[in-house]
Amino acid sequence: MTVESTTARTPRGASTERGSAAGDGAPAKKAPASKAPGKKTAVAKSAGPAGKKAAGPAAKKSAGPAAKKTAPKTAAKKTAAKKAPARTSAAGSPRPTAHAEAPASAAEGGQLIQLLTPEGERISDPAYDAYVDAITPEELRGLYRDMLLTRRFDAEATALQRQGELGLWASLLGQEAAQIGSGRALRDDDYVFPTYREHGVAWCRGVDPANLLGMFRGVNHGGWDPNSNNFHLYTIVIGSQTLHATGYAMGVAKDGADSAVIAYFGDGASSQGDVAEAFTFSAVYNAPVVFFCQNNQWAISEPTEKQTRVPLYQRARGFGFPGVRVDGNDVLACLAVTRAALEHARNGEGPMLVEAFTYRMGAHTTSDDPTKYRADEEREAWEAKDPLLRLRSYLLAEGFADESFFGELETESEALGKRVREVVRSMPEPDRLAIFENVYADGHALVDEERAQFRAYQASFADAPASGEGE
């Protein structure tokens, strides 16, 4: 269902009237009402996937790293059609095929795709229902478990930073649905390029939460092998990972692989030149990449209204590919929309932009104080749309879970928090002289001199190791 995005800000001095961007979802005929139990059908302003029927998602089971309960991870059923390669001219310059329309319900003036209301009521969207209609109660419980444990891990990391155990932490509080929904839409062979806040997506890809903390404690540069989980290392430079993802996706297309790439970034990064360049290259080369923008309303202290005069998803039209806005606090809608976008990319139809309209409930990082630039009333309004509360209400209303299930999760949550604390506090201190290694392949006299000076400096402290080699 499409609903009005009432929390979207209107830029000062900007007209509230917006014409439809070219191809941003033409008015559609009403689809027949869905008869799935526990779901109401609304009159939706949406169209089914252009030129094809949406395939129901495969019910492949997957689990978070801490236990074996399942949650949906696979994308919609693969189509038999192979990806259409980009045509090239005699000079070898790309001539991409025309981008097909995506199944976009959210086409006009700030509307967004929603399948679960903030009250936990299941509503219908004919364009996207097929991507989640086959979801089982076990998979729904798995989605809730993913969000709850990710939130607990995030809260534990924030507390550890406040206690001096981490140098910094970027919280995902409030964005769990966007990350878990999109993360569980991925197939194992898809590749993820995150920013520094995608802790929920890392969880879905099987990255141990403890491995995320080494970088923030300063003991490594990222404690996992990206190729073992198809999850790239965190990217601190704002927006640059969209270029990495685009290049990787271009390689995937040239290899003829039946997989897709997804790049995560925020509303602030959408103003970066790297993102614009990634949009240009991905469109021209018809790259199988999904750009997943978590619009949490604030680029540190800058509101979205100071970055754009139109909804962010509409920017895609200027680059020649479709964009769509989804309720980023609705895990079912995020799952469905991301499955559709990944299917769009795998089918050779080029890139797609997904704007997950959500809210950053906490600070930008632990070095930030959001009370300096935003009102408490704004946060309180978004608390009523909490992604965990709405899914919990739905599970209870449909009889898919009971209080014993939630009690067991609380016990598991406590165990995860304890493990995270123990792992962080037991991390070995890095060798302080390691910064001089691998500067030159064959060594260098100046580096050797600097190393010796630093060793002597470290040895001058009373509590330094006798060798000065680190601790």
Tens digit of each residue's pLDDT (9 = 90 or more) over 214-243: 989 988 887 788 999 999 999 989 999 999
The predicted structure's pLDDT at residue 353: 98
Domain end call among 409, 425, 441? 425
Domain end call among 392, 408, 425? 425
φ/ψ bin of 282: left (φ > 0), alpha (ψ from -120 to 50), beta (otherwise): alpha
**Helix H or strand E encompassing 354:** strand 352-357
- Is 14 contained in some domain? no
- Is 28 contained in some domain? no
- Is 20 contained in some domain? no
The predicted structure's pLDDT at residue 218: 87
Q: Which amino acid is at 71?
A: A
The whole domain housing 454 covers 431-471
- Is 42 contained in some domain? no
Residue 37's φ and ψ, nearest 5 degrees, are -65, 150
The predicted structure's pLDDT at residue 30: 38
The predicted structure's pLDDT at residue 236: 87
Same domain, 323 and 217: yes
How many structural domains does the chain have? 2
Same domain, 201 and 141: yes
- Is 83 contained in some domain? no
- Is 318 contained in some domain? yes
Same domain, 402 and 356: yes
Same domain, 117 and 137: yes
Same domain, 382 and 471: no
Same domain, 387 and 449: no
Active site residues: 360, 364, 373
Residue 353's φ and ψ, nearest 5 degrees, are -105, 125
- Is 27 contained in some domain? no
Segment 257-288, tens digit of pLDDT: 999 999 999 988 888 899 999 999 999 999 99
Domain CATH number, residue 388: 3.40.50.970
- Is 417 contained in some domain? yes
Q: Which residue has the tokens 């009690």?
A: 407
Same domain, 418 and 437: no
Same domain, 314 and 461: no
SS (H, E, C) 411-471: HHHHHHHHHHHHHHHCCCCCCHHHHHCCCCCCCCHHHHHHHHHHHHHHHCCCCCCCCCCCC
Same domain, 437 and 334: no
User: Which residues in the chain land under pLDDT 70?
Assistant: 1-110, 464-471
Same domain, 220 and 360: yes
Same domain, 460 and 358: no
Same domain, 409 and 441: no
